[in-house]
Structure 1
Amino acid sequence: HVYTDPDEAVEFVNRTGCDSLAVAIGTSHGAYKFKGEAKLDFDRLARIGDKLPNYPLVLHGASSVPQEFVSQCNQYGGQVGGAKGVPEDMLRKAAGMNVCKINVDTDIRLAVTASIRQYLAEHPDQFDPRAYLTPARDAVKNMVAHKIRNVMGSSNKA
């Protein structure tokens, strides 16, 4: 892994004038993030936060890969084996350390796919996207509401 150097982060922000900065502290894209246990470098994140106080930091590749969606995908014909992500308690901790945006695209895709797989397996006669996309939208809505309220701590902060 290549991690963000705190001094280089300051130089990058000063030279580019960017609005926010995605930092590398151990996250990675996709559903297969860690070979062993998840580890985020919170000391590095704290040092970056100290050098860039009140500056908005971003975590890319921070999906938690909810195992209920992995199981649901697999139950209905998927082959999503061994996928795991960043535990939600780690994301909650990062959210309290200048991190203002946490990208969870894989979680959204898993929610959609799991829901669609289940719907089509239980309703093999259906072919209307409006039928199977309705529960998929609901799954995404519920998962994102959970992330906003319980993981990112950003309820009522729009």
Structure 2
Amino acid sequence: MSTYVHYSVQEAQKKMERYCAYQERCHKEVEKKLREMRMIPEAIDSIMGHLIQENYLNEERFARSFARGKFNIKKWGRNRIKNELKQRDISKFNIQLALTEIDYQDYLQTLDVLAKKKLAQLTEPNLFKKRKKLSDYLLYRGWESPLVYEKVMELTK
């Protein structure tokens, strides 16, 4: 027999305010959380409206924060950041704004550091396989193909 807690709209709203205040959230995450709390669609709409109006929920702020964090901490490239934001139903406009958070010189420098670090870890004796492993690694992390191939060729002459 499963038991679950029933929340009033006010209780759920307070819970979501804390949830959003703790860390930037996207609309999709908050809606999912409210559905998990078994809130009815009308209550979800009401709570979402309140969170947006009171600035607990701001998609542009979320996208910018997400892009900065994933680039600075996880060293993701633009493609990976863009795809992850798309999966969270962030608008094209906000994705473009989010990508402006990444300074281009920092971006190129991070790619350089990441590529050199990975190259130093590779023990593959075959040059072509080594290049493939390095480029696959960088592409998986979301770095753009032209930048990756240029960097791989530069480091494996």
**TM-score normalised to structure 2 length:** 0.25
Q: TM-score, normalised by structure 1?
A: 0.25
Larger radius of gyration, structure 1 or 2? 2
Higher strand fraction: Structure 1 or Structure 2? Answer: 1
